[in-house]
Amino acid sequence: MRSCFRGASPPVGLNSTNCWPENSLSQIRIGRVSACARKPRASFATPSTDVIFCEEETPMSDRLISSFGFQIPSGTPVELLTRISPRSLLYAILVIIAAYVVIRASTTALDMLARQAPRARFFFLMLAPLIRFGIWLSSGVIVLAIFAPSRDTLFAVLASVGLALGLGAQDLVKNIIGGLIILTDRPYQVGDRVRIGDAYGEIDHIGLRSTKLTTPDDTRVTIPNSAILNTMVWNANSGVPTCQVVTDLYLPIDTDPIQAMEIGYEAAYSSPYTLLTKPVVVRLQDAFAHHPHMVLRVKAYVYDHRYEPALQTDITRRAKAEFLRRGLLKSWSYAGTLPAGPSLTKPSQRATESRQE
């Protein structure tokens, strides 16, 4: 089968009879098949249809063939570059910008819904990383469809990208794999209070590369997702607003244990942050680190884990006031009998005392 050219100036590659050599159409890409809105540049006929090539739709590969007389090998990443036109590049950029805008808008909307509906806060926060991942994946598919590479070209591009990532971006690949594991296995989700390594705080962002949490002292910590693959994760609430709060109180070794435990229960149950539907547990044990003393451990549940520091402070304040009122801290009335810890004198006082000596 031969396809003949109809026109005054045939492109490079036609023989003297203005016809393409047999089976050459499968080896040379001439242009984009479309309807011409303006004057057509050229056309040729096949047994089934007429194909028209327009001035404004001429791809880079046709210009290279017409100008230099050589063809771009099919099934290579270079062929994908020849398919890039200003219009397709503009469409791809618009898709990426639209995906970014939709992600920001959806994240803002979910945050507003989470604040307005506290009971469903964790559900809305859980949707944020899933929606973000789905939008980016969909935009990537759309951009790929805009350039419309052949199957061989697509495989060649994927192989080249895979080789480049394997050689120069191993950490990035590990982080992406860790992000996918977080989305599927869900060791934690946005809003959980977790400990990862030495970092402890509330998860406020889960991305494909990293996880970000905010510590109780308002410090932002960024953790690579690859750390999830070989690091233990402690989750305090696992997707629910309540969590257990542990408060340690220190007493002299000769303190009456019955009074100490009674004060611990009273301090926990009287706190406005305590979830009264959950049990309060008080434990007492002796410790001998640097100095003999007694540790009163109060375990209570807070109704919202964001108030964990507030509950610890409130229990300590109430218990300390009652200890002082009952005189349980008299044996610690001077620094010589306190457990080892930071000095009670200021740096300026220590400097003055050293100069006097």
Predicted pLDDT of residue 132: 83
pLDDT per residue as tens digits for the range 211-268: 899 998 889 999 988 888 788 889 988 888 899 999 999 999 989 999 999 999 999 9
CATH of the domain at 195: 2.30.30.60
Quote the longest CA-to-CA distance of the chain: 114
Which residue in this structure is represented by tokens 């006929």?
45
Residue 177 lies in a domain: no
Whether residue 250 sits in one domain with residue 281 = yes
Q: How many CB atoms lie within 10 A of CB 340?
A: 8
Domain that holds residue 60: 5-71
Residue 173 lies in a domain: no
Per-residue pLDDT averaged across 58-80, rounded? 48
Backbone phi and psi for residue 166, each to the nearest 5 degrees, phi listed first: -65, -30
Both tokens of 356, joined, read 């006097």
Residue 345 lies in a domain: no
Residue 339 lies in a domain: no
Residue 353 lies in a domain: no
Whether residue 118 sits in one domain with residue 61 = no
Residue 351 lies in a domain: no
Which of 235, 252, 267 marks a domain boundary?
A: 235
Does the pLDDT value for residue 49 go beyond 50?
no
Residue 321 lies in a domain: yes
Burial 196-229 (b: 16+ CB within 10 A, else e): beebebbbbbbbbebbbbeeeeeeebebbbbbbe
Count of domains forming the chain: 4
Whether residue 164 sits in one domain with residue 207 = no
- pTM score over 0.85: no
Residue 357 lies in a domain: no
CATH of the domain at 298: 3.30.70.100
